[in-house]
Amino acid sequence: METLFKDIRYAVRSLLKRPGFTAIAVITLALGIGANTAIFTVLNAVMLRALPVKDPQQLVFLSNPDRHGVNGGQETGNRFLFAYHEFEWLRDHNQVFSEMFAVQSALSSQPIVVEGSEQNEAARARISAVSGGYFAGLGVNTILGRPFTAESDQAGNATPMAVISYDYWKNRFALDPSIIGRRIRVRQTSFEIIGITRPGFSGETVGSVPDLWVPLRMETEVSREVLAPPKDVRNKYMWLQVMARLKPGVTLEQANAGINLALQQMLQSEASQISTDQHAAYLNQRIALSRGDRGASTLRTSFGKPLLILMGLVALLLLIACANAANLFLARGLSRQKEIAVRVALGAGVGRLARQLVTESLLLALAAGGLGLLLAQWADALLVRLASSGPYPIPIDLHPDARILGFTIAVSLLTGVLFGLAPALRAARVDLNALLKGDAKGTVRSSSPSGRLPAAKILVIGQVALSFVLLIVMGLFLRSFQKLAQTKLGYDSEHLLQFSIVPPKGYQGAAVNQFHKQLLERLQAISGVRNASLSLSGLFSDIDLGMNLSIDGYQPAPGQQMTANNDYVGPKYFSTADIPILSGREIGPQDEGNAPLVGVINQTMARTFFGDTNPMGRQIKASAPFGVLDFTVVGIVADSKHDDLRTPSGSWFYTPFFHASRHPNFSWATNEVRVSGNAPAVVTAIRAAIKDVSPLIEMPEIHAIDELASQTITTDRLITSLSSCF
């Protein structure tokens, strides 16, 4: 141990004598180590870190932790999401879980008004609807007030209450303890704040942090039809993530068998509602339990592969840095040959000298690791900003933990060995006789006829080769991204604006349609607006209303999915979006109210289900949990991008927004506005028109379609940008 301390002291003195060399080596290595630490920190936060809850290893998912949104109809095979009545059955009929709880699979963002406050302006907050056992199941307590309880799940319980997060309490209420019992307003409904979660708790989903939680049983905010069992068990409304906590002593395999037994009992009871020949297909459902300790996250699907690719790139960058540092050490070793020769003459062995030199390289690497850790913290903030598709950073915890520190130390030590060992061994094998034959200034004749060390040549060649690999990879990413960015949307996205709007509370039935028509008239009257229409889902909204199809005279191929996505659209929708009409007509005012239901299908749907025959005038029946649409085809339009630039258009059909067949729960609308003039001025006029229609309206965010389309390739842009930096 004493010898080790001597080596360290000697190494420190030696490095301080050459500050230029030391600074260059530390900075070079810090860039490589910092890049690796930065990417690993994000990888750890997204894919490795356990939830900060009680005994996270006891948590399991019944649903797919990487899925969100809504599924309609009937699932086969492994279940992804669950209907509310299914969650209730499984919660009440299993013997393997101590707690089971459900979570709305996607957050909603709503304007929140604090009642009784001097500053009562609405500010948006992220809301998660959860079952009563949510906080108990996660083992999370409140620091003030109380959490939800099992009573929150009882039928008829419509008490508006909310639990808010610590960060929301801090940012919105300045840690005011009197906030318990105060009320906040969401969509004109008043919620009582009953509790505040502890610091550090961010929910069960990584990268999706709620500001407040409300009970799933809020009948004022959640449709009763969503909560109630469906009229047709083949048309379920599946929208819930379900998690559970294992009972003590129960293994994952035992729990999997027990919960699937409960599932089959439920399915058997429901199968009596359908024909016998459909029983086998209906019973082909199962639950595949998965670990819940890391929580749910759609980020794993979006960023899992890109992060692994980036880890590979930064590993190459670190190798280049190591080669550069090794060259510096070789050059330094050449200048220290007389010093080393003296130590050899005094009896120092090769092993002793090599250990001393490796100690210097390890000290340099550890210093670089410390600097790299600081650089990584700055780089991570930039990285998350680049990766975020919206105006706000993805909310993930990037604070260093034991795993990050261990990774940085391990990489630093490995780096020290990689760049220091070979030069140390080479420098320690000094030829004392050759050195003594040098000139009076101590110049030593090189062992290479060319005057350069062969090892240095190898390192330079390696650096160049690795640099070429990075350049080639960057070129491939850049070409792929350019091709993706130039994907045709199927319509003119330039000067096309979009926003979603919900009528104020109290609008029902015909009043909802009247509200949207009045707003549409105001929009069309704005100077600079060429055309305006509306739809339910809109473009790039991540809302797909999948429906099961039945077409007279069409026999599906074995295994073919008879499904298509539906959107309700207003008059002149295709003209406003500039989607080409290939045959027939678009939906107009004559198709509203109780008129015969008509529909327009896209090119993919026409080709898939009608081939070379003419689909005009054909009848199509589409069914889903939200209703049945039996319509006549009156038009065919070109395929267009709805979700993202990568996904093919798929089969879509469009029915009239103002028709009586639209489900009454679909009260919101997405307005599309085609502008020809100054877009910022038009946006200001749009906001004024919205306020004119209703002063109580929640002011929506207005986006350009180009902006929404660009957000769908954020991951590709991130990889391309970072690889270009490398």
Q: What is the pLDDT of residue 206?
A: 86
pLDDT band at 258 (very low <50, low <70, confident <90, very high): very high
Q: Choose one of 482, 517, 533: the last residue of a domain.
A: 482
The token pair that represents 432 in the structure block: 């004392």
For residue 366, pLDDT over 50 is answered with yes
Examine the pLDDT at 440 and tell me if it is beyond 70.
Answer: no
Which alpha helices (DSSP H) does 388-453 contain, by range?
A: 402-428, 432-436
- Which of 60-64, 170-174, 296-300, 337-341 is predicted with the least confidence, judged by mean pLDDT? 337-341
pLDDT at 212: 93
Statement: residue 556 has pLDDT above 90: no
Task: Give me the residues paired with residue 510 across strands.
Answer: none
Indicate the Cα dihedral angle 117, 118, 123, 125, nearest 10°: -20
Asked if residue 715 lies in contact with residue 473, where contact means CB atoms within 8 angstroms, the answer is no
Q: What is the pLDDT of residues 69-91, one digit of tens each?
A: 676 667 778 898 898 889 999 99
Whether 719 maps to a domain, the answer reads: no
Residue 658 included in any domain: yes
Q: How far is CA 57 from the centre of its chain?
A: 23
Let me know how long the chain is: 726
Contact 713, 484 (CB under 8 A): yes
- Flag whether 725 is in a domain: no
Answer whether residue 257 is part of any domain: yes
Instruction: Kindly give, in sequence order, each residue whose CB lies less than 8 Å from that of residue 229, ignoring residues fewer than 6 positions away.
Output: 83, 85
CA distances from 441 to 338, 435, 436, 453, 650 (A): 10, 11, 11, 20, 79
Residue 532 burial class via C-beta count within 10 angstroms: exposed 0-12, middle 13-18, buried 19 and up: buried
- The mean pLDDT of 620-624, rounded to a whole number, is 88
Q: How many CB atoms lie within 10 A of CB 544?
A: 19
Domain boundary among 433, 457, 482: 482
CA 630 to chain centre: 37
Q: Per the structure block, which two tokens stand in for 388?
A: 């975020």
| DSSP annotation of 49 | P
Q: 42 and 149 share a domain? A: no
Q: Which domain holds residue 279?
A: 56-291
Strand-pair partners of 130: 103, 215
For residue 163, report the phi and psi dihedrals to the nearest 5 degrees. -110, 130
Task: State residue 433's pLDDT score.
Answer: 61
More confident residue, 703 or 440: 703
Dump pLDDT digits (tens) for 388-425.
655 556 777 788 889 999 999 999 999 988 887 776 66
pLDDT at position 225 is 52
Are residues 239 and 149 part of one domain? yes
Give the best-scoring range by mean pLDDT among 483-487, 521-525, 691-695: 521-525
Considering the domain architecture, whether residues 641 and 684 belong to the same structural domain is answered as yes
Q: Of 422-426, 654-658, 678-682, give the lowest mean pLDDT range.
A: 422-426
Q: Report, as an integer, the average pLDDT of 59-66.
A: 91
pLDDT in tens, 89-129: 999 999 999 999 999 877 677 778 888 776 566 778 889 99
| Model pLDDT for residues 143-160, shown as the tens digit of each residue | 999 999 888 777 666 678
- Same domain? 593 vs 476: no
Q: 281 with 370, same domain?
A: no
**What proportion of the chain, given as a percentage, has pLDDT over 70?**
84
Higher pLDDT among residues 340 and 68, named by residue: 68
Band the pLDDT of 239: cuts 50, 70, 90: confident
Supply the pLDDT for residue 267. 92
Which tokens is 298 given? 């759609």
Q: Is residue 491 part of a domain?
A: no
% of residues, the chain, pLDDT over 90: 40
Domain presence at residue 621: yes
**439 pLDDT tier (thresholds 50, 70, 90):** very low
pLDDT at 572: 94
Q: Is 147 left (phi over 0), alpha (psi -120 to 50) or beta?
A: beta
Give a yes or no: residue 593 inside a domain. yes
The answer to whether 131 and 204 are in contact (CB under 8 A) is no
* Amino acid in position 145: G
So what's the pLDDT on residue 392?
A: 55
Phi and psi (nearest 5°) for 694? -155, 115
Q: How high is the pLDDT of residue 242?
A: 96
Query: For residue 153, how many C-alpha atoms fall within 13 Å in the half-sphere facing its CB?
Result: 18
Last residue of a domain, one of 482, 506, 527: 482
Pairing of the two strands 563-569 and 652-656: parallel
Residues 620 and 581 in one domain: yes
Task: Give the number of domains in the chain.
Answer: 3
DSSP annotation of 591 reads G
Position 585: which residue type? R
Give the model's pLDDT for residue 717. 72
Q: Is the dihedral of CA 8, 13, 19, 20 positive or negative?
A: negative
Please state, rounded to an integer, the average pLDDT across all residues of the chain: 83
pLDDT at 390: 57
* Mean pLDDT along residues 592-605: 95
User: CA end-to-end span of the chain, whole Å?
Assistant: 41
Q: Are residues 170 and 133 in the same domain?
A: yes
Query: Which one is predicted more confidently, 593 or 477?
Result: 593
pLDDT band at 435 (very low <50, low <70, confident <90, very high): low
Segment 625-651 mean pLDDT: 87
pLDDT of residue 516: 94
Predicted local confidence at residue 222, as pLDDT: 44
| Helix-helix angle 350-387:337-345, to 10 degrees | 140
* pLDDT 10s digits, 210-235: 999 998 877 545 444 566 666 677 77
Q: Are residues 311 and 425 in the same domain?
A: yes
User: Are residue 20 and residue 62 in the same domain, yes or no?
Assistant: no
Position 725 pLDDT exceeds 80: no
pLDDT in tens, 303-317: 788 888 889 889 988
Whether 43 and 69 map to the same domain: the answer is no
Element (H, E) at 128: strand 123-130
What lies within 8 Å, CB to CB, of 432 at 6+ separation is: 341, 344, 345
Work out the pLDDT band at 449, boundaries 50, 70, 90: very low
Domain contains 586? yes
Within this chain, do residues 547 and 430 fall inside the same structural domain, yes or no?
no
Closest CA to 372 of 325, 306, 318: 318
Residue among 586, 54, 38, 660 nearest 317 (CA): 38
Same domain, 346 and 267: no
